[in-house]
Amino acid sequence: MTDIEKILRTAGVRWADWLRLKYRKNAAKAIARDFGVSHAKAARWLSGTAPTFVDFMLAVKRPGWGIECVRHVMPSLMGPEPGASDDREALIMRRLDATEKALRDVVNQLKEIKHEGLGAASGDRHGGSHDPMGASAAGLGAPTLGLVP
């Protein structure tokens, strides 16, 4: 499930929660009045139906709602909360470590390929050709990708 799908899946529940925080008594009636929607639509929102984009933007524009409404209903759009950056930084560092390891593995593989190619060029010490198809002679030897001199 993509991040957007997760956001949309939970937006209705979070929207209902936000409305309950803002409207205590006769919530559906007050929401219908304030947003200019039917009582039935307001009741659906309170039961977890997500608002349309236009309705959500109207909510964000309401005095005192703004960014807090967005943060509550769609927190993923706001990025990590203050203090949560440690987890995000740890994730980035793990990904960076994995990428560095993968790069080292590729470099080692390329060194092995180059070493095998040098063995074939200097005479086969193992009894069989390392280049049976003549790839080296055709200029199709192991690529170095600029990583191996």
Q: Quick one: DSSP state of residue 50?
A: P
Query: Average pLDDT in the 11-34 region?
Result: 89
42 Cβ contact partners less than 8 Å away, ≥ 6 residues apart: 27, 28, 29, 31, 32, 35
pLDDT value of position 11: 83
Confidence of residue 125 (pLDDT cuts 50, 70, 90): low
pTM (2 d.p.): 0.48
